[in-house]
Amino acid sequence: MGKRSKILKWVLPIVGIVVAAGVFGYLKFFAWNPERQELAMINDRKITVAQFGRELAKIPAPYQDLLKEDPKQFLEQLILKEVLLQEARRQGLKPDPAAKVEEMEITLIQSLLKKEVIDKVKVNQEEVEGIYRQHRDQLGKKPMSEVAPLIEMAIREAKGKDQMEEYIASLRGKAKIEIDEKRLQAAASPAPLTDTGEEFKKALTSGRPVLVDFGANSCMPCRQIRPILQEIKQEYTGKATVLVIDVYKYKELAGEYRVQVIPTLIFFDKSGKEVFRHMGAWDKASMVGKLKEAGAV
């Protein structure tokens, strides 16, 4: 083997390692870096995966869980916010200097909507006087001259609702918006599993008490009691059955049990007979109490 061949024998693997390390470094700090991954581009401004995650983290649970399951809904809110901020800055508007740092963007958007929508709504004196006469007592019987500006602003906001929606839609329509659908889909979380109609029917013949939550994943009060139901399910394993039935998947079953409000909690005794129902969210102690009355020990 010649000298050149010996050198290549040792150099090529080293070059390969260096190249691989360089590629990995690029992927880590650029392609795989959430701070650099574009989720959406609005004109010349981007919303990154990391930014989306930080904004989503500000939303309290269980609202955050719902938005994780449908991230496009939340991304659309961020897009509209960015569109409005860009327009406000283009017009040279300034945020309220007295506002807190986290509120400055909101005050900037409020200034834009006031200038472009609210202030352009026409309000006449007769309308102001009419509202004043109707609500004078609620206004503390203050003279109209004192409360007229507030009444006028309230009328402007009420009248300007439709115009505001049209204005925002118009700005969004003019903006150049690109969304990375694959990354958006990757950011989504699966909706929690619910039980089937067959599992419900089987539970009623199991010889154990049954607690059924007739609800839906899209129902906020339903989602709020899910952790409670899960705790009860674990604590009463082998003693009672706890199920969650999605009323939209099993409309006939929900109709059979006359479910009109969600969540509706229905308790069945060991023979499968309904013994109690509660409409709306409920606390754990009350649920456990009724489950015990149904025969869970």
Two structure tokens written together for 257: 């049990």
The secondary element (H helix, E strand) that includes residue 212 is strand 210-215
- The torsion of the CA quartet 293, 294, 295, 297, rounded to 10 degrees, works out to -60
What values do phi and psi take at 76, rounded to 5? Answer: -60, -35
Give yes or no for a contact between 139 and 101, defined as CB atoms under 8 angstroms apart: no
What values do phi and psi take at 177, rounded to 5? Answer: -125, 125
Which residues does residue 10 pair with via DSSP β-bridges, in sequence order? none
Rounded Cα distance between 130 and 108, Å, is: 32
Give yes or no for a contact between 33 and 25, defined as CB atoms under 8 angstroms apart: no
Q: What are the residues whose beta carbons fall under 8 Å from the beta carbon of 4, sequence distance 6 or more?
A: none
Buried b (16+ CB within 10 A) or exposed e, 216-244: bbebeebbebbebbeebeeebeeebbbbb
Residue 35 half-sphere exposure toward CB, CA atoms < 13 A: 3
| C-alpha radius of gyration, the chain, whole number | 30
Q: Catalytic positions, please?
A: 219, 222
For 295, the 3-state DSSP assignment is coil
